[in-house]
Amino acid sequence: MSIVQFGQAVLDGLLVGGVYALVAAGLTMIFGVMRFINFAHGALLMVGMYTAYWAWTLAGISPYLSLPLTCAVLFVLGALIERALVHPLLDAPEHNQLLLTLGLMLLLENLALFLFSPDFRTVRIESLEGALAVGPFLLNRPRLIAFVGAILVSTALYLLLQRTEVGRRIRATAQDRDGAQLVGINVKRIYVITFGIGAACAGIAGALITPYFYTAPHVGHVFLLMAFVVVVLGGLGNFLGALVGGLMVGVAESVGALLLPGSLKGLIPFALFVLVLFYRPTGLFGGGSHVA
Amino acid sequence: MPPWLAVQPELAHVGAADAQAGAARGAVGTGAIARWVTVGAVLLVAALLPQLVDHYFLRTAILLVYSAYLAQCWNIVGGYAGQFSFGHATFFGIGAYTTAILFIRWGISPWIGMWAGALLAAATGVFLGSLSFRYGLKGPYFSLATLAFAEIFRILALNWDAVGGPRGMLLPLRESFWNYQFPEESTYYYVILVMLIAVTALVAWLAHTRWGMYFQALREDEDAAEALGVDTTRHKLLAMALSSAAIALGGTFYLQHMFYIDPDLAFGIDVSVNALLPAIVGGPGTVWGPLVGALVLTPLGEFTRSALGGYGGVHLMLYGAVLITVILLLPGGLLSLPERWRERSRRGGPAARREGERGAA
């Protein structure tokens, strides 16, 4: 393995890792604020992908331009899910929350299967084909754009949490639900917003990858498992941990592909996951309820 | 009035409740007879079924019994011991793959191979369980860890060329009873029916033994059970071993019935979901829950498939909706429905509620 190969693998890993980070940011935010494990997160990503795909196919709008639409669709969908399904179960045993969102995942994925068939669909944007040469390294353009987009959205979300009034309220609710309620924060509304934002993160990530990743009903599985790996690695509920964890998992997977034959590279994230669960269940950076 | 007298109305109430319970217990005697008659009738119909129905219906019946079997296996560790495994595909797949390898490579009969698979699955279950429990993985963390384990096994099978990698393994056709290959569909039906009866009997028996009691105790409150001297880790592992071994036998049945296995069919997330779904819908931690769940879900799935046609898996859309509904409205599963009704009528229908309002006024 030459040093260039290694560098290329690290770069590729970072590009993919940025997307993992955004998916995981939504998942970890929902957990950090609501103590709720969203198993349907991958399915929400899939909905985002189809939204972008149909905007492209039916109206010719590129996935990047239709981002506001995807974002809005997923936010509303997430808010509705919170109101109708998640809210009644917030104080239920955790395994029931997991089962509820498992049901939601089955419903959404197979609805997509029923409506859109199992075909693998791709969004081909010809002007973006070919790779960008940076020194000895090659950067795939759609991947680069997805990475930059994911990092921008994550940063925007971080600023929203840190600098705005809504963000302050969300963080207060994450720290102490009852305390937040006491000082007059409408916790119910914060939960709706939080779930909406979490879903929008998954949806945006989905839309950003459509130019280079196939769209299909069960595409979310890969990202769901990966997002859990990232979230556990970064510490459940730890927002910055999810961002760093995403990049780490991306790089680990990509470098692992150099070292391991066949699709064995797929083992690396799970091996990492199990090891972290066993040895540092609070994540590498400490978990807990802090959203930032 | 001295304070101790004030307690009396309550005591009287307790007495009345006791008498009521006594009467109810008397009624349970006849209830038990009725229940055994029902069970006997169901068994009789189940035993005669292949003579009564056509080929399509029989295949559906096999699917139903098979689905109830998987759910009953999951029920041991998921329902009774309260450890929500999302990765039972691991053990199912080990059962199927072990049997297939032994048969194809060395011509060892699946009747022997299936026990080797069960043993290996139990050992794997104990190993994974002891890792998880040793590090204190509980609730959803345990679920996610088991899911990850199944995924690890799937990727390993995908990359292991000796077992066909992604192409999987096709059983050579050598029809004979000794090879667990039957010319008649009805034989498969009887095999899986006997398996379901056996595992259900095991669960019914377990529920009344010390082990079963410990399972339930640690499910309800692990710390309390530990404080009372229950070795919770040991009993969780025991439940895990039994459940894994049993579902591995189901993997063998699947292989012998389909003549084919591949990494997704063996270790895919669908297998894990199919194992827990009927138990959750019917009533986890009850003897009849998995059967009731399968009885509702399988016909529903078949109906959807024939009504909507289209792609395999569309019925899962409805399963998802059913799962959501059950979790939201009936977290104890369908079997908790009669109790719900009884409770509601006890707490009062409209008349009693009006009474309560008057009392409050």
Residues B129-174: tens digit of each pLDDT: 988 887 777 788 888 889 889 989 999 999 888 888 889 898 888 8
Q: Is A88 at the interface with chain B, CB within 8 A?
A: yes
Q: What is the pLDDT of residue B349?
A: 54
Asked if pLDDT for residue A289 goes beyond 70, the answer is no
Most confident of A153-157, A235-239, B225-229, B328-332: A153-157
Measured distance CA(B95)–CA(B114) in Å, rounded: 6
Q: Residue A284: pLDDT band by 50, 70, 90 thresholds?
A: low
Backbone angles phi, psi at B313, to 5 degrees: 105, -10
With cut-offs at 50, 70 and 90, classify the pLDDT of residue A281.
Answer: low
Contacts of B8 (CB under 8 A, 6+ apart): none
Residue A182 reports pLDDT greater than 80 = yes
* pLDDT band, residue B243 (cuts 50/70/90): very high
Residues in contact with B193: Cβ distance below 8 Å, sequence separation at least 6, in sequence order? B46, B47, B65
Mean pLDDT of chain A: 88
Gyration radius (Cα) of chain B, Å: 24
| Best mutation target, B137, B155, B271, B274, to test chain A (most A CBs within 10 A) | B155
Residue A284 forms part of a structural domain: no
Q: Do A114 and B311 touch (CB under 8 A)?
A: yes
Tell me whether A107 touches chain B (CB under 8 Å): yes
Tell me how crowded residue B257 is: count the other CB atoms within 10 A of its CB.
Answer: 20
CA diameter of chain B: 88
Q: Is A262 on the interface with B (CB under 8 A)?
A: yes
Q: Among A49-63, B9-23, B227-241, where is mean pLDDT lowest?
A: B9-23
pLDDT reading at B13 higher than 70: no
Q: Which of residues 19-38 of A touch B (CB under 8 A)?
A: 37
Question: What are the residues whose beta carbons fall under 8 Å from the beta carbon of B134, sequence distance 6 or more?
Answer: B233
Q: Answer for the pair B251, B96: CB distance below 8 angstroms, yes or no.
A: yes
* Structural domain includes residue A285: no
ipTM score assigned to the predicted complex: 0.89
Q: In the structure, what pLDDT confidence band is assigned to residue A20 with cuts at 50, 70 and 90? A: very high
Name chain B contacts of A106, Cβ cutoff 8 Å. Answer: 273, 316-317, 319-320, 323
For A120-179, what is each residue's pLDDT tens digit?
988 888 777 778 888 888 888 889 999 999 999 999 999 999 999 999 999 999 888 889
Inform me whether the pLDDT recorded for A261 exceeds 70: yes
Provide the percentage of residues in chain B whose pLDDT is more than 90: 40
Q: Is residue A125 part of a domain?
A: no
* DSSP H helix total and E strand total for chain A: 11, 2
Does the CB of B288 have a partner CB in chain A at under 8 Å? no
Asked if residue A115 has pLDDT above 80, the reply is: yes
Find residue A137's DSSP bridge partners.
A134
pLDDT at B310: 65
User: pLDDT tens-digit profile of A210-234?
Assistant: 998 999 998 888 888 888 888 888 8
At residue B53 the predicted structure's pLDDT band, cuts being 50, 70 and 90, is confident
Q: For residue B260, give the DSSP letter.
A: E
Residue A126 domain flag: no
Whether B139 and chain A come into contact, CB under 8 Å, resolves to: yes
Comparing B320 with A238, the larger pLDDT belongs to B320
Look up the pTM and report it: 0.85
8 A C-beta contact, residue B317 and residue A114:
yes
**C-alpha distances out from residue B200 to B74, B87, B257, Å:** 11, 21, 21
Residues 6+ apart with CB under 8 A from B261: B93, B96, B97, B100, B168, B169, B254, B255
A2: left (phi over 0), alpha (psi -120 to 50) or beta: beta
B322 vs A: CB within 8 A: yes
Return all residues near A168 (Cβ < 8 A) that are at least 6 apart. none
Q: Do A114 and B328 touch (CB under 8 A)?
A: no
A12 min Cα distance to partner chain B (Å): 22
Chain B neighbors of A94, CB-CB under 8 A: 139-140
> Which token pair is B127?
């190993």
- Does residue A63 form part of some domain? yes
- CA separation for the pair B294, B277 (Å, rounded): 9
Q: Verify whether the Cβ–Cβ distance B327 to A100 is below 8 Å.
A: yes
User: How far is the first Cα of chain B from the last one, in angstroms, to the nearest whole number?
Assistant: 25
Provide the pLDDT for residue B340: 81
For residue A252, pLDDT over 70 is answered with: yes
Domain CATH for A148: 1.10.3470
Mutate to test the interface with A, among B153, B156, B281, B317 (most CBs of A within 10 A): B317
Region of B116 (left: φ > 0; alpha: ψ -120 to 50; beta: rest) is alpha
- The shortest C-alpha distance from B196 to chain A (Å) reads 25
- The reported pLDDT for the residue numbered B357 is 43
- In this complex, do B151 and A225 lie within 8 Å of one another by their Cβ atoms? yes
State the smallest CA–CA distance between residue A69 and chain B in angstroms. 26
Region of poorest pLDDT, from A92-96, B198-202, B278-282: A92-96
What are the residues whose beta carbons fall under 8 Å from the beta carbon of B196, sequence distance 6 or more? B65, B68, B69, B72, B291
Best to test chain B binding among A102, A236, A260 (most B CBs inside 10 Å): A102
Tell me, yes or no, whether A163 lies in a domain: yes
What pLDDT, on the 0 to 100 scale, is given for residue B269? Answer: 87
Cβ–Cβ below 8 Å for B321 and A103: yes
In a domain, A135, yes or no: no
Confidence of residue B350 (pLDDT cuts 50, 70, 90): low
Question: Is residue B185 scored above 70 in pLDDT?
Answer: yes
Q: Cα(B262)–Cα(A58) distance, rounded to whole angstroms?
A: 38
**Number of domains chain A contains:** 1
Where in the sequence is the domain holding A227, given as residue range(s)? Answer: 3-117+141-279
Q: Encoding tokens for residue A111?
A: 């609805």
B199: pLDDT strictly greater than 50 = yes
Query: Any CB–CB contact under 8 A between B202 and chain A?
Result: no
Distance CA B148, CA A286 (A): 21
- Kindly report which listed range (A196-200, B12-16, B264-268) carries the lowest average pLDDT score: B12-16
Does residue A130 lie within any of the structural domains? no
Cβ within 8 Å of B, A 118-147: 118
Spatial contact of A233 and A248, defined as CB atoms under 8 Å apart: yes
